[in-house]
Structure 1
Amino acid sequence: MTLLRHWGDTLGKWAGRPAARVQEDSGDPEVRRVREAAAAADWSTVREVLDARSESDDRTELLWAVGDTAGVERWIDKVVEAEPESALPRLVAGIRHISWGWDARTGARAKDVSRQQFEVFHARLRTAEQRLYEAADREPQWTSPWYGLQVTGRGLEVGQTLARRRFEAVVRRDPQHLASHQQQLQQVCEKWGGSHEEMHAFARSSAFGAPAGTHLGQLVAIAHLEHWLSLDSGPDAAYMSRSEVRASLAEAAEHSFRHPDFARRGGWIQVLNTFAMAFSLAGERDGARECFRATDGRVTKFPWYYLNGSDPAAAYRRQRASAGR
């Protein structure tokens, strides 16, 4: 994705602040390496990079770097055929078909998606499910196939019971898998057939059921942002300014990124961006400034695209300025 320079970045430099830029990944150099290898149909390098990582959130980011690369679908099936007993090419094929499926659907509202688009979307997700189940059969201890099945399940609308089983399959293998928890949080959102009550309960039980310093504290902030997003203008601001919402965010922050055991690895930048937005909307300027200092101008698309879908960095800059940072 091409990033545009904005005059606000220049002003930020003059003011002694780092320029805000959308960060496409965690900064791990292997992400770029595996993406370039995928674009070049270099399976040997793709395998080398993925094999070097354990089944965790770190590997999840690398898998999506491959899966989001256009053209992988043109060569990965040949690798699957050449390695009939190997799980990894099936996993990669599954993740690619998920991304490729959403390319066909687009990010439009369901009412604006054509019947033909939905047919292609569902066909690609069903292929993804087949490949992911094949990978899970070959590597029973891997989390990634089940995480991928969480994503396909939402697209295919498999229902809350099956979605929950897929989530539980991940956390049995990796109790603090952040991406899997994020997927399940979306699954229990009101917009996906859940409820605000279920969403908040899931977020809190996951965050506070994990050891202090956990990245899962982000779930509490996401839940409040999802609740805010569901409301009309006016009630949304009133919701975020509630004293119980501000207290909930502060409690989650203490248990998560403010704790000495919080590790700056994997998705930590997104965790801080999420709290930055939540604190900003809640009017908690001190908390927001703390997060803006920590992110140091590194912007993640989520959650800022909720405020500005075409330019998340602009939303970040605006809220940073409002916080006096």
Structure 2
Amino acid sequence: MAVLRGWGLTLGRRAGRFVPRVQKDSGDPDVARVRKAAASADWDTLRDVLEARSESEDRTELVRAAGDTAGVEKWIDRVVDAEPEAALPRLVAGFRYVSWGWEARTGARASHVSRDQFKVFHTRLRTAEQHLYEAAEREPSWTSPWLGLQMTGRGLQVGQATARRRFEAAVRRDPFHLGAHQQQLQQVCDKWSGSHGEMHAFARESAFGAPGGTLLGQLVAMAHIEQWLSLDSGPDTSYMRQPAVTASLREAADHSFRHPDFVRSGAWLQVLNTFAMAFALAGDHGGARECFDATEGRVTESPWHYLNGSDPAAAYRELRSAARR
């Protein structure tokens, strides 16, 4: 086994080669602590871990990990009632109801979701909104409640104007918050009543409006992947293989992970995985190999789940092999 220096990650090797492995988080050991505490209803430990982090991208990951943990809905409301002036229990409750709501809806197309599923989905999202607004009122400087409200807003179809205000509220507090920008990118996608043009414009404005070396370059790659996903087989490949697409990916890479100020922290691994997939689909094997080498077999579920929802690592392996031919 090999350990990547500075990240405490153990990577499997087989015959001298990395074995791609899906990584559920950034490598932050506190994510596992959060999940364990949340699963066992250990609010004291969960609160201590969350309070030890400043309100930033790093704590966002921890709060989302708590929200994604099954069973939190069975006990978090008691904590909210016991600590009526505290924002943190409401924040965790809000993110749990967001995740629990999407679990009820499932990832199926709307035409395949029943009326009862939608009813449960919307009820849980409205409960999430109540908790998140109360958290935001108690801690006006926090970004995380507004990130959660971006997520509920899309599910409740609050409309583009309201969604934009929620995004702007998030970035007033943290201008280069990747999660907030990712949510807004989804909001302006064609599949959510936006358009390809609006999506690409938002991605470029966000990426190049930020200083060099931020994570926001990922938005450019993700926008191309989103348009690729919207096309039928054949036209999708033609789209990604356009010289203009390759040029925009290279430009975004230069301003992001290739920039000397880029730091491997937070969601950097997801950024490299996204560029790896985009470069591979574009036929830029050199760019793809660069990103695959940097990830060293660590696979993030997004964006590979778009290619293989049950086995993202298999999609990673396939495109990595193609890039090495």
TM-score class, shorter: over 0.9
Partner of 2:14: 13
Whole-angstrom CA distance in 2 between matches of 1:24 and 1:143: 22
Match of residue 178 from structure 1: 178
**Counterpart residue number, 2:99:** 99
Q: Which residue of 2 aligns with 1:233?
A: 233
* TM superposition outliers: structure 1 runs of 4+ over 4 Å: none
Structure 2 partner of 1:207: 207
SS of match in other structure, 1:260: coil
- Tell me the equivalent position of 1:145: 145
| Distance (whole Å) between structure 2 residues aligned to residue 229 and residue 82 of structure 1 | 46
1:17, CA displacement in angstroms?
2.4
| 1:266 has 2:266 as partner | yes
The answer to whether 1:74 aligns with 2:74 is yes
Residue 167 of structure 1: how far off its partner (Å): 0.1
Normalised to the residue count of structure 1, the TM-score between the two structures is 0.95
The unaligned stretches of length 5 or more in structure 2 are 1-10
- Alignment-derived partner of residue 129 in structure 2: 129
Matching residue of 1:5: none
1:4 match: none
Q: Per-residue CA shift, 1:102-129, capped at 9, x if unaligned?
A: 1111111111111000000000000000
Amino acid of the structure 2 residue aligned with 1:130: Q
The one-letter code matched in structure 1 to 2:103 is D
User: What one-letter code is carried by the residue in structure 2 that aligns with 1:129?
Assistant: E
1:193 pairs with 2:212: no
Letter in 1 for 2:160: Q
Q: Give the Cα–Cα distance (whole angstroms) in 2 for the partners of residues 307 and 105 of structure 1.
A: 21
| Corresponding residue number in structure 1 for 2:312 | 312
- Please give the alpha-carbon distance, in whole angstroms, between the structure 2 residues aligned to 1:63 and 1:201: 30
- How many Å apart are 1:49 and its aligned residue? 0.7
- What SS class does the counterpart of residue 65 from structure 1 fall into? helix
Structure 2 residue 90 is matched with structure 1 residue 90:
yes
Task: Provide the residue aligned with 1:55 in structure 2.
Answer: 55
Whole-angstrom distance in 1 between the partners of 2:63 and 2:139: 16
After TM superposition, give the deviation of residue 13 of structure 1 in Å: 2.3
2:288 pairs with 1:288:
yes
Deviations 1:213-260 (A, max 9, x none): 010000000000001000110000000000000000000000000011
**Distance of 1:49 and 1:309 partners within structure 2:** 31
Q: What fraction of aligned residue pairs are identical, expressed as a percent? A: 74
TM-score, normalised with respect to structure 2: 0.95
1:38 matched residue in structure 2: 38
* CA distance, structure 1, for counterparts of residue 279 and residue 156 of structure 2: 34
User: Partner letter of residue 115 of structure 1?
Assistant: R
State the SS of the aligned residue for 1:22: strand
Q: How does 1:245-260 map to 2 (within 5 A)?
A: 245-260=245-260
* Residue aligning to 2:321: 321
Shift of 1:176: 0.4
Q: Which moved more, 1:177-186 or 1:300-309?
A: 300-309
Instruction: State the partner residue of 1:6.
Output: none
Does 2:24 align with 1:24? yes
